[in-house]
Structure 1
Amino acid sequence: MATFTVGDYLLLRLEQIGIKHIFGVAGDYNMEFLDYIVNHNGIELIPTCNELNASYAADGYGRLNGIAALITTFGVGELSAINGVAGAYAEHVPVVAITGAPATKIQALGSLVHHTLGTGDFSMFARMYEQVTVAQAYLTNENATTEIDGVLGICLLKKLPVYISIPMDVALTEVSAPSDSFIPPVFQSDGATLAEIVDVCVNILEKASQPVILADIGVARYHLHEQLRKLLTATGYPYATMNMGKGLLEETHPQFIGIYNGAASEESVRKRIEQADCVLTIGALMTDFNTGKFSAKLDPSQTIEVHGQYVKVKHALYNNVAMADVLSALSQRLQRRDPQTLNFKSATENLDAGFITPIEGGSSAPITQQYFWHRFAHFLQEDDIIVAETGTCLFGASIVPLPKGATFVGQVLWGAIGYSVASLLGCALAKPTAGIAASQRRSILLVGDGSFQMTAQELSTILRYNLKPIIFLINNDGYTIERDIHGERMPYNDIQPWNYHQLPKVFGGNGWGIKVSTESQLDKALQTAQQNHDQLAFIEVVMDKMDSPEVLLKMLQQ
């Protein structure tokens, strides 16, 4: 090209780190940069219905792709998106939040321009982003390329969002094209510390008679699924996940015993974890919804915690050791145990009968939570992407055994209602192939009617890009999880009923919808969805407003 600008430089670097789509909304402070995106062959701009949804979509994309980006305009746009960026920060999702800002001359003069508070202070919104991003870059003509490389490196290294402010005139500034590809920084373990901590861990684990592995979100964020698999193969240890780590590996794995959620766990899982004489936790985040409202009972004196860049053994902390290195070393050093001596049953041995035997026929009986999740389990296929909204959907889906290659996405910690609809957009576009054709992976959304009303308009964008997910909307007449928590009959948990299944037609896309209220109707809808892969499927499932998954009620009782 004749000239190479800061806008070109940023896009090239984003492409080099694996970003193929950028989500966002046009505004007059970012349009020059949007022109660069539109004209850049390696990255596609995905305009969303609003900036909040762009941030949710980027979050979903980042979970599957390893990193994501969104673009907003100054003030009104970036503040609309900040909730979603905060969620990515809470759940350790690498997202590059780019804001198109007024020209540097306007900022220097303190001009009272639109999308500001009229105070002449142009740094206020950036300072807000400092609270929900790990690093920030305020680009100038002089520092742009250095700052871009620095902040992108931190995003990849820390697995957290970063913020880039790109003034209109800076985006147009000519710079030298980079002479080489971007090389992501790699966290290096301190050799001596690594050797010491591995010796300590091996000594403890080899002496333990009933060790167990408890894996969680950190494995997913560092993309260490195969390292976890190798550790399981090498040791024979039983393992469980927490809610945030659901689906790290197929849940039919012979060493998988189930999901540990404190007192809300299946009794056999709770006992095996809490009575173990050594628990090796990997990337565990001890949040309320991850621990059965803090009812988890893990003895620190019998726990080894492996995190992204440190390890904690009992009360000793070892910094500067990478999770990948620790898992690899343990796989090489630990002896394999005979399953009979480790005292565990796989999750498949303890499954409810409804998850084992396919349900056939159905009846005119109303659809219950129990029937739906049993039927849904047999609907799933290998390599499916399942996005579940926080609420009855998340907790109902938590007990469904996932097949090989399936990916599970849920916002367990931040828990913003409405997250899942726009996250589905990002997940459907990301679709990491892992040797599988992207078209072979189905994207499935599980969302309640209350949550759906928060971000329903993003269904329009999903249809616009001819994506073909299968959407299950649980119509239980309002906020059922909120009713379970407080206010069963209070009006703030009620919503206006919509004709949800008609929305694909309303939004003018290539999709079909149906409303089902009986078991036989659900069965027929599932058969149609399995046979028709050329259109978006929208299945509105009617349930009683106070019917909740047992695991949710069990947790709320803690």
Structure 2
Amino acid sequence: MKRRVGQYLIDQISVYGVDKIFGVPGDFNLAFLDDITSHEKVEWVGNTNELNGSYAADGYARLKGLGALVTTFGVGELSAVNGIAGSYAERVPVVAITGAPTTVVEKAEKYIHHSLGEGRFNDYRKMFEPITCGQVYLTKENAAVEIPRIIAKAVRFKRPVHIHMPIDVAMAEIEVEEAEVKPLITQDVTGYIEKVAARLNQSERPVLLVGHEINSFNLHDKLEAFVNKTHIPVAQLSLGKGAFNEENPYYIGIYDGKFANKEVNEYVDGSDCIINLGAKLTDSATGGFTYTFDLKDVIFMNDNEFRMNNTLDTDVSLRDLLNGLAEIDYENKSDFPKFSREGAADYQLNDEPLKQENYFKLITAFLEKDDILLAEQGTSFFGAYDLPLHAGNTFIGQPLWGSIGYTLSSLLGTQMADVNRRNVLLIGDGSFQLTVQEMSTMIRHQLKPIIFLINNDGYTVERLIHGEEEVYNDIQMWDYTALPAVFGGKDHVIAQKTTTANELKKAMDVINDNKDKMHFVEVVMDVMDAPEKLEQISKAFASQNK
């Protein structure tokens, strides 16, 4: 059948369940945007800037399995680079589409706007090479093959890809087959699984250390089935919170090196068989590399990595490895620490200045069983990753890439990915000021997320690491609760300001009584008040920088 290249690109993205495409218009993508807005299966979501658009596409992809972003050549695509790099680091599949000048202009090497004025047109494409798992320059001749190939690659590896599409190519008509999902290729991992089984049968205290790739590849059910069969206890890294059902009896808690619960720390560090499953041992996830086990003794089972003793395979699928684990005939008999929720929601109501510890206990009690919880890198993330989640919760943070401001725009994407689930964002004032404009997009689309903004007057994480009273950690104080009205949300958003536990609890009651509204709650706390975990890990970060 005949389709324009741009139409076929949207067709192929939509068969993977994508129904929202984020981005910003520019003269090199406008004609392509006409094909998006007229497409029967997708909706255009315009963002306030390309960086916010990349964050929104990332948040959307974390729930839907794929996201898409459209920018214009040069100024637009480079504004999105930071967000795409974050998606690459944290394994989130986003199709980054650049609308580019015509092939005629490029061949003539003309000095056009948005270029560097040197007649070169491949500079920006080169910048995407280390932050995407695949790149393609679309032509009329290759589009029918390359479009499904590059999108399938993003889905297979759960990482972004970059598509450079000259606008005359987008408008060219070609002959194509019906768009379809490309089947995944499976691999035989029997030999590796036999090695793991032999090691397990020799162990007395095994443990699974699970991480973010379980979330990326949506392997939660397969992981839990394996655990329920083998009774091997599970510890999560903060980079991967939500990878395992925290209501499961074999869950022992968060492992973050020496800062973990004492029993968890001792069990993991003392295990004679650690299986690292879809996890990456980063500095923030391990309390500044404070684990005491020997990495040479760990079995690493990640996507593109099976590592055990002298065996190494860098071309293996995590899906296949987890499917292989399901065949293991093993049952753990050892005792292990039991995860406890006791006291996590025992907040105190009073009229004293609100403290972080009490704040997070109130948040724990506020969370409902199917909520999506987003926690911004900073006091919010370090206070939230220890919170006990319900089986139906989804947790989203960005602790590896750690780009502040990410979660506010990501919230737009997650809420649009599932408008029926309640989205709760915890964010600090410093991060909020970077991407605040995307609140207006949420209001424009009449979304109803809940935003808790910690106003602690600046960059508290940085103050704890270095420069407690330095001017570079200060920000301008805003009238935060006035912002929803500024963005046109006076009738759609209920804005409240709280300074005490009593006030915050009342604000939460207002939220629960008005589910048809978007909610914005400013929570005022002391500038140096911080979650205990953040105070501990910030010292590790500080020593790491010496």
Contact 1:103 1:167 in 2 (8 A): yes
Q: Tell me the SS of whatever aligns to 1:487.
A: coil
Distance 1:142 1:328, change over 3 A: closer
Cα offset, 1:382, TM superposition: 1.0
The answer on whether the counterparts of 2:238 and 2:254 sit within 8 Å (CA) in structure 1 is yes
Residue 420 (structure 1) shift: 0.8
Deviation at 1:356, TM superposition (A): 4.9
Q: 1:296 aligns with which of 288, 291, 294?
A: 291
Aligned match of 1:216: 211
The equivalent residue for 1:468 is: 448
Q: Which residue of 2 aligns with 1:407?
A: 394
User: What does residue 279 of structure 1 align with?
Assistant: 274
Answer whether contact 2:464 2:539 (CA < 8 A) is retained: no
Q: CA deviation at 1:245?
A: 0.9
**Cα separation, 2, equivalents of 1:472 and 1:86:** 27
Task: Tell me how far 1:302 sits from its aligned partner.
Answer: 3.2
Pick one of 464, 476, 482 that aligns with 2:462.
Answer: 482
Q: Separation in 2 of the partners of 1:325 and 1:78?
A: 35
Over residues 164-198 of structure 1, what are the superposed CA-to-partner deviations in whole Å (9 max), with x where a residue is unaligned?
111111111011132x3423241421x3xx22111
8 Å Cα contact 1:99/1:164 also seen in 2: yes
Q: Helix, strand or coil for the counterpart of 2:22?
A: strand
The residue identity in structure 2 corresponding to 1:26 is P
Q: Please give the alpha-carbon distance, in whole angstroms, between the structure 2 residues aligned to 1:329 and 1:172.
A: 46
Does the 8 A contact of 2:148 with 2:182 survive in 1? no
Could you say if the C-alpha distance between residues 321 and 90 of structure 1 is closer, same or farther in structure 2, counting changes exceeding 3 Å? closer
Partner of 2:335: 343
Which residue in 1 is equivalent to 2:186?
188
Q: CA-to-partner distance for each residue in 1:117-166, whole Å, 9 max, x for gaps?
A: 11111111111112211111111121122121221121111211111111
- Asked whether the 8 Å contact 2:371–2:423 carries over to 1, the reply is yes
2:507 maps to which residue?
A: 525
CA contact (8 A) 2:74 2:114 kept: yes
| Pairwise CA distance, 1:64 | 1.2
Q: Which runs of 5+ in 2 are unaligned?
A: 541-546
Give the 5 Å matches for 1:70-109. 70-109=69-108
Shift of 1:486: 0.6
**CA drift at 1:58:** 0.8
Alignment partner of 1:397 is 2:384: yes
Amino acid at match of 2:351: S
Partner of residue 4, structure 1: 3
CA gap of 1:492–1:352, structure 2 versus 1, over 3 A, is farther
User: How far apart in 1 are the matches of 2:5 and 2:58?
Assistant: 25
For 1:255 and 1:93, the matched residues in 2 are separated by: 28
- 2:360 is paired with a residue whose SS is helix
Paired position in structure 2 for 1:151: 150
Structural mapping, 1:372-387, within 5 Å = 372-387=359-374
User: How far apart, in 2, do the equivalents of 1:254 and 1:375 lie?
Assistant: 25
Does 2:531 correspond to 1:549?
yes
Which residue identity does 1:45 align to in structure 2? W
For the aligned residue pairs, the C-alpha RMSD in angstroms reads 1.5
After superposition, what is the alpha-carbon deviation per residue over 1:491-542, rounded to whole angstroms, capped at 9, x for unaligned? 1111111111221121112111000001100010011112211111001000
**Which is further off, 487-496 or 143-152?**
143-152
2:345, 2:362 within 8 Å by CA — same for their partners in 1? Answer: no
Contact preservation (8 Å) 1:134, 1:162: yes
Q: 1:333 aligns to what SS in structure 2?
A: coil
Provide the secondary structure at the position in 2 that maps to 1:413.
coil
Structure 1 window deviating more from structure 2 (506-515 vs 22-31): it is 506-515
1: CA distance, partners of 2:327 / 2:139: 49
Q: Is the 8 A contact 1:231 1:328 kept in 2?
A: no
1:411-490 alignment, distance < 5 Å? 411-431=398-418, 438-439=419-420, 441-490=421-470
Give structure 1 stretches of 5+ with no counterpart.
Answer: 432-437
1:352 deviation in Å? 5.4
- Could you tell me which residue of structure 1 aligns to residue 544 of structure 2? none
1:441-461 Cα shifts (integer Å, max 9, x gaps): 100111100000000000000
Report % sequence identity: 42
Cα deviation digits, residues 400-423 of structure 1 (max 9, x gap): 101121111111111111111101
Contact residue 284 and residue 307 of structure 1 kept, 8 A: yes
In structure 2, C-alpha distance between the alignment counterparts of 1:33 and 1:388, rounded to whole Å: 35
CA distance in 2, matches of 1:48, 1:501: 22
Question: Equivalent residue of 1:245, what SS?
Answer: coil
- Render the CA deviation track for 1:52-106: whole Å, top value 9, x for unaligned: 0000111111111111110000111011111111111111111100000011101
Give, in whole Å, the separation in 2 of the partners of 1:314 and 1:515: 56
Report SS of the residue matched to 1:405: coil
Amino acid at match of 1:188: T
Q: Is the 8 A contact 1:60 1:424 kept in 2?
A: yes
Query: 2:52 & 2:345 partners in 1: Cα distance?
Result: 37
The TM-score normalised by the length of structure 2 is 0.96
- Whole-angstrom distance in 2 between the partners of 1:121 and 1:318: 39
Which residue in the other structure is 1:331 paired with? 326
Q: Is the 8 A contact 2:200 2:330 kept in 1?
A: no
- CA distance in 2: counterparts of 1:187 and 1:293, whole angstroms: 37
> Which amino acid is 2:150 matched to?
V
| Shift, 1:301, TM fit | 4.4
2:518 is aligned with what amino acid? L
The CA deviation at 1:209 is: 0.8
Distance 1:513 1:183 in 2: 43
The answer to which of 162-171 and 249-258 deviates more is 249-258
| 1:305 to partner: Cα distance | 1.2
Taking the aligned partners of 2:64 and 2:325, their CA distance within structure 1 comes to 27
Q: Does 1:492 align with 2:472?
A: yes
Match of 1:539, SS state, is strand
Q: Which amino acid aligns with 2:50?
A: E
- Whole-Å separation in 1 of the counterparts to 2:123 and 2:104: 17
Please tell me the residue identity of whatever aligns with 2:174.
V
CA displacement 1:330-369 (0-9 Å, x = unmatched): 233232234xxx2222212xx452x154x36x11111100
What corresponds to 1:434 in structure 2? Answer: none
1:326 Cα offset (Å): 2.7
Structure 1 outlier segments of 4+, above 6 Å: none
CA distance in 2, matches of 1:244, 1:88: 14
8 Å CA contact 2:377, 2:403 repeated in 1: yes
Question: AA paired with 1:491?
Answer: V
Q: Distance in 2 between matches of 1:75 and 1:539?
A: 37
**Aligned partner letter, 1:146:** V
Match of 2:543 in 1: none
Distance (Å, rounded) in 1 between the aligned partners of 2:131 and 2:207 = 35
1: CA distance between counterparts of 2:182 and 2:303?
16
Give the AA of the match of 1:457: Q
DSSP-derived class of the 2:287 partner: coil
Please state whether the residue corresponding to 1:280 is helix, strand or coil: strand
- Contact 2:215–2:242 (8 Å) recurs in 1: no
Q: 2:279 aligns to what SS in structure 1?
A: coil
TM-score for both structures, normalised by structure 1: 0.94
